[in-house]
């Protein structure tokens, strides 16, 4: 349903996703401080990690001075061009034959991942800028080591190509101790040194936390902008904050006797007489069954456990105990946000922070806190 038609409905008839644009702008500024000698692009693929590219990208462009954006594919890029007419937009998936005119018409920059794509852009790119992507160990996209050697030994393929950026991507940036980080760093140092004067970029959010050696000329944060912790071994930097809240409502409060089951499959049975609250968020909202019997929500100043299986449209929590005695139908409850952070929800469920974030569904009533 278009968001406009929802505004005439009572706001409490569904769960709410509140997205704090000033917090995203602040996180971007915090990243600029963490990588003080580098520029910072914003990764806004997958609808800005589910937070809404139409709102997030203009806020970063106008309020934070972010000039460079990366999306995954051409469709995302054309949409982003509409929202940020003056930004530099890079397309990570690269260039397919037959798509060149879309890139040139919309002034999009392909991230060139192979010799074939390079030839296509050379022939049809009208001298417009592109990025070159070198695979230094993740074995995903980009010039392979052999193709890289070939390219660097024969400079002619690079003639008449307008290269605005050389980049690579880390495989294990979330794990500071992984030796692949240093290997990729050394490999990328050598490659980027053969492009003097052309900006180089290696670090995603995790790479930013690996330290200044990894920052080069431009960092490419995604998760950090949205308040996630990209490191398995480092705490979240103090000035990175959650940027969104999912708040549901309690539909019903009920008493269950000792031994009774709650929800499909009766996977949780009351250890004693219990008070159960039913919340209006389920897996169809993106609150997945990985949270069955392990999720925590936040209510009345404390964490409260999910009991039983998450249903399509609702879930159950155990609110037994004096701390919850005043809880009643209609009360608001946090599913994710300031208290149940991405990092915490990921620890509880073993689902990655990225999947929790990008899994947030359109079904919520969306509210954007404006920058001004
Ligand atoms: C998604 C992506 C990023 C951003 O990663 P985060 O971990 O979210 O910061 C950076 N670079 C490339 C090539 C990506 O695909």
**Res 6: pLDDT:** 54
Q: How many residues does the chain have?
A: 372
**Atom of ligand 1 lying closest to residue 206 CA:** 7
Is residue 190 annotated as part of the catalytic site, yes or no?
no
What is the whole-number distance in angstroms between the Cα of residue 204 and the centre of ligand 1?
Answer: 5
Model confidence at 3: pLDDT above 60: no
Ligand 1: does its nearest atom lie under 6 Å from the Cβ of 94?
Answer: no
Bridge partners, residue 20, by sequence: 369
- As a whole number, mean pLDDT of residues 321-344 equals 96
HEC assignment per residue over 318-355: ECCCHHHCCCCCCCEEEEECCCCCHHHHHHHHCCCHHH
Q: What is the mean pLDDT of the chain?
A: 96
- Find out whether 107 and 81 touch, Cβ atoms under 8 Å: yes
pLDDT of 12: 81
CA dist., res. 182 & res. 164, Å (int): 25
Give pLDDT, residue 55: 98
CATH class of 21-226: alpha beta
pLDDT digits (tens, 9 = 90+) for 180-231: 999 999 999 999 999 999 999 999 999 999 999 999 999 999 999 999 999 9
Element of type H or E holding 77: helix 74-83
Class of 244-369 in CATH: mainly beta
How is residue 258 written in tokens? 């000792």
- The residue ranges of DSSP E strands in the chain, in sequence order, are 16-20, 39-40, 42-43, 68-71, 88-91, 109-112, 130-133, 163-167, 200-201, 218-219, 244-256, 261-262, 268-269, 274-279, 296-299, 302-307, 315-318, 332-336, 365-369
Q: Is 314 annotated as a binding residue?
A: no
Its pTM stands at 0.95
The two tokens of residue 240 are 């990175």
Domain definitions of the chain by residue range: 21-226, 244-369
Compute the distance between CA of residue 69 and CA of residue 59 in angstroms, rounded to an integer.
12
pLDDT at position 254, please?
Answer: 97
Q: Which residue has the tokens 């992984």?
A: 178
Handedness of CA 34, 40, 45, 49 (dihedral sign): positive
- pLDDT band at residue 2 using 50, 70 and 90 as cut-offs: low
């Amino acid at each position: 349903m278009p968001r406009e038609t929802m505004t005439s409905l009572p706001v409490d008839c569904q769960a709410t996703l509140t997205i704090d644009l000033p917090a995203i702008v602040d996180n971007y500024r915090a990243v600029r401080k963490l990588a003080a000698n580098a520029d910072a692009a914003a990764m806004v693929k997958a609808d800005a990690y589910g937070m809404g590219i139409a709102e997030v990208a203009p806020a970063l462009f106008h309020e934070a001075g972010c000039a460079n954006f990366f999306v995954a594919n051409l469709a995302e890029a054309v949409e982003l061009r509409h929202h940020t007419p003056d930004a530099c937009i890079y397309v990570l998936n690269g260039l397919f034959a037959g798509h060149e005119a879309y890139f040139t018409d919309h002034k999009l920059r392909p991230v060139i991942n192979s010799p074939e794509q390079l030839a296509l852009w050379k022939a049809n790119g009208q001298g417009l800028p592109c990025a070159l992507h070198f695979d230094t160990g993740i074995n995903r996209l980009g010039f392979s080591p052999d193709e890289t050697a070939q390219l660097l030994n024969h400079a002619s393929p690079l003639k008449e190509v307008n290269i605005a950026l050389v980049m690579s991507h880390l495989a294990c940036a979330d794990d500071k101790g992984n030796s692949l980080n240093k290997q990729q760093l050394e490999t990328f140092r050598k490659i980027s040194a053969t492009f003097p004067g052309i900006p180089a970029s290696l670090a995603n959010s995790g790479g930013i936390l690996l330290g200044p050696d990894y920052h080069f000329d431009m960092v490419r944060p995604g998760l950090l902008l949205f308040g996630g912790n990209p490191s398995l071994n480092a705490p979240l930097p103090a000035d990175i904050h959650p940027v969104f809240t999912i708040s549901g409502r309690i539909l019903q409060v009920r008493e269950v006797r000792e031994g009774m089951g709650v929800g499909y499959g009766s996977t949780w049975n009351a250890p004693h007489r219990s008070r159960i609250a039913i919340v209006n968020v389920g897996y169809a909202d993106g609150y997945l069954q990985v949270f069955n019997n392990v999720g925590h929500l936040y209510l009345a100043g404390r964490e409260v456990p999910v009991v039983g299986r998450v249903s399509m449209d609702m879930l159950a929590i155990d609110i037994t105990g004096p701390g919850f005695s005043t809880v009643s139908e209609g009360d608001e409850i946090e599913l994710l946000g300031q208290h149940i952070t991405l990092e915490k929800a990921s620890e509880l469920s073993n689902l990655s922070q990225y999947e929790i974030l990008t899994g947030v569904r359109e079904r919520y009533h969306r509210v954007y806190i404006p920058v001004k």
